[in-house]
């Protein structure tokens, strides 16, 4: 009887994890985030991107400690505390339009993100193992990602209308509802037995040194990792600057989320047809370079053309081609990493990308404070130059 009850609980875990992914990622504020900071918060664009660098810094700092916390307390309580932190962070954001308050809120949100990061995947896998269904893990985790994207798209479609009707702080306040729903659902999870032996968490420095040492042995892995880190850091600026660009050219705030949702749909469309697009591009290398080149060209368009229909199209294409490259790069990188070193090397690659984002956010913010159009022009020109000096070779891109 006890075994049957446990199996029923583990089956319910799988359904609850879908719902937790959906609600936790329902960021109504994402469609107006930059405008929230600049108009409601009174910040300039440099301060906005400085805050994002601060957020990524704390993601890096908290990654290992929160992983250790999840191992000690259990993945269920990691998700509960992460959802609670998301709720608290939201409340702190809207306490007062003050840069120091926003910095505190970013730390709390980084805590929420790192507590959720990996904990739901691990709990899902362990639940499947407990049910004897571990072969379904790839499919199940893919479905969890779809629920995450569903939450993002629903939130971006509605966030602009919430802001237009109740003010720029309203989408932030509205996130309390889905984050609390995620918390309540997480409380109903049952912790399954861990299918993998726990490993001690290693210091950041050791992870980074070992990872970079492996990059030196596998030159192409270093090329892939650095190319992704640098170009992705440039492209990340669009996430924070597309809202001021739309506002510059006269789009009402309530429609911002629609553009964001279409951009997410564009990424899904490209990733769903990657093999066909690679054939059109002529090669795997051709796709990666053309994707960067198209994104760079769209940055130039955003800097030089101030006509709303063109701006909308350029934002969607810049997002779709630029940000769809990351899972493709990651797939190629994995082909060169032995399974016993995978966690170390991928963690080191993630740290390198985080460092690049922290630095480029500051540069992008400084450029945008000087001139929004000028920033897009400079970033676009550099992205195009990066494709001309790319060290990628077709023979290194293995399926």
Mean pLDDT over 158-173 rounds to 94
R_g over Cα of the chain: 21
Residues 361/49, Cβ–Cβ less than 8 Å: yes
Q: What is the domain partition of the chain in residue ranges?
A: 1-191, 202-399
Band of residue 378 on the pLDDT scale cut at 50, 70, 90: very high
Structure tokens of 179?
């984050």
What is the distance, to the nearest Å, from the Cα of residue 261 to the centroid of all Cα atoms in its chain?
15
Q: Identify the pLDDT of residue 35.
A: 94
Predicted local confidence at residue 53, as pLDDT: 94
Tokens of 162: 């919430």
The Cβ-side half-sphere exposure at 364, using a 13 Å CA radius, reads: 31
In percent, how much of the chain has pLDDT > 90? 49
CA distance 310 to 333: 35
Backbone angles phi, psi at 283, to 5 degrees: -175, 170
Residue 200 pLDDT more than 60? no
Q: Which of 143-152, 214-223, 261-270 has the lowest mean pLDDT?
A: 214-223
pLDDT attached to residue 222: 79
Where residue 367 falls among pLDDT bands split at 50, 70, 90?
very high
Question: N- to C-terminal Cα distance for the chain?
Answer: 47
Burial of 358 (0-12, 13-18, 19+ CB in 10 A): buried
What's the mean pLDDT in 295-311?
A: 97
Q: How confident is the model at residue 348 (pLDDT cuts 50, 70, 90)?
A: confident
HSE at residue 265, side-chain half, CA atoms within 13 A, is: 10
CATH of 202-399, one of 1.20.1250.20, 3.50.50.60, 1.10.260.40, 3.40.50.300: 1.20.1250.20
pLDDT band at 326, cuts 50/70/90?
confident
Q: What is the pTM of this model?
A: 0.86
- In angstroms, the CA 263 to CA 120 distance is 26
Cα–Cα distance measured from residue 62 to residue 67, given in angstroms and rounded to the nearest whole number: 8
> Model confidence at 302, in pLDDT bands (50, 70, 90)?
very high
- What's the residue count for the chain? 399
Specify whether the CB–CB gap between 70 and 122 falls below 8 A.
Answer: yes
Left (φ > 0), alpha (ψ -120 to 50) or beta: where does 194 sit? beta
CB 287 within 8 A of CB 203: no
Across residues 216-226, what is the average pLDDT? 80
Whether the per-residue pLDDT at 374 is higher than 70: the answer is yes
| Domains 1-191 and 202-399 are alike in CATH topology | yes
Contact between 234 and 383 under an 8 Å Cβ cutoff? The reply is: yes
Sign for the CA dihedral angle at 215, 220, 224, 226 comes to: positive
Question: Taking a C-beta distance cutoff of 8 angstroms, is the pair 151, 18 a contact?
Answer: no
What's the pLDDT score for residue 103? 97
Q: Which residues contact 101 (CB under 8 A, 6 or more apart)?
A: 92, 93, 95
pLDDT, greater one: 51 or 121: 51
Angle value at C-alpha 99, between 233 and 363, nearest 5 degrees: 25
CATH superfamily of 1-191: MFS general substrate transporter like domains (1.20.1250.20)
Q: Place 379 in a pLDDT band, splitting at 50, 70 and 90.
A: very high
What is the chain's mean pLDDT, rounded?
86
């Amino acid at each position: 009887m006890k075994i049957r009850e446990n199996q029923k609980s583990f089956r319910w875990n799988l359904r609850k994890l879908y719902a937790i992914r959906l609600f936790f990622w329902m960021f109504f504020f994402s469609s107006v985030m930059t405008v929230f900071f600049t108009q409601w918060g009174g910040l300039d664009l440099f301060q906005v991107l400085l805050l994002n660098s601060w957020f990524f810094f704390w993601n890096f700092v908290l990654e290992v400690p929160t992983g250790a916390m999840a191992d000690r307390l259990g993945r269920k309580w990691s998700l509960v505390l992460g959802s609670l932190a998301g709720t608290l962070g939201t409340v702190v954001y809207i306490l007062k339009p003050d840069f120091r308050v926003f910095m505190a809120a970013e730390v709390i949100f980084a805590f929420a993100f790192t507590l959720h990061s990996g904990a739901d995947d691990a709990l899902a896998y362990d639940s499947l193992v407990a049910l004897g269904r571990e072969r379904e893990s790839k499919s199940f985790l893919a479905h969890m990602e779809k629920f995450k994207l569903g939450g993002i798209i629903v939130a971006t479609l509605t966030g602009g209308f919430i802001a237009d009707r109740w003010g720029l702080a309203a989408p932030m306040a509205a996130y309390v509802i889905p984050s609390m729903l995620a918390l309540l659902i997480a409380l109903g999870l049952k912790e399954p037995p861990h299918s993998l032996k726990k490993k001690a968490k290693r210091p950041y420095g050791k992870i980074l040194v070992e990872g970079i040492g492996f990059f030196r042995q596998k030159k192409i892995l270093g090329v892939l990792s650095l190319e992704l880190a640098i170009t992705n850091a440039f492209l990340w600026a669009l996430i924070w600057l597309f809202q001021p660009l739309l506002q510059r050219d006269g789009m009402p705030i309530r429609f911002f989320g629609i553009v964001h949702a279409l951009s997410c749909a564009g990424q899904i469309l490209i990733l769903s047809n990657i093999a066909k697009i690679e054939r059109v591009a002529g090669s795997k290398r051709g796709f990666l370079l053309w994707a960067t080149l198209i994104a760079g060209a769209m940055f130039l368009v955003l800097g030089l053309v101030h006509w709303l229909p063109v701006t909308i199209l350029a934002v969607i294409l810049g997002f779709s081609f630029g940000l769809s490259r990351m899972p493709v790069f990651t797939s190629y990188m994995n082909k060169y990493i032995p399974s016993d070193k995978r966690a170390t090397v991928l963690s080191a690659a993630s740290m390198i990308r985080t460092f690049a984002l922290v630095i480029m956010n500051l540069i992008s913010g400084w450029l945008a404070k000087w001139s929004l159009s000028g920033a897009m022009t400079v970033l676009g020109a550099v992205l195009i130059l990066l494709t001309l000096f790319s060290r990628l070779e077709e023979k290194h891109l293995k399926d």
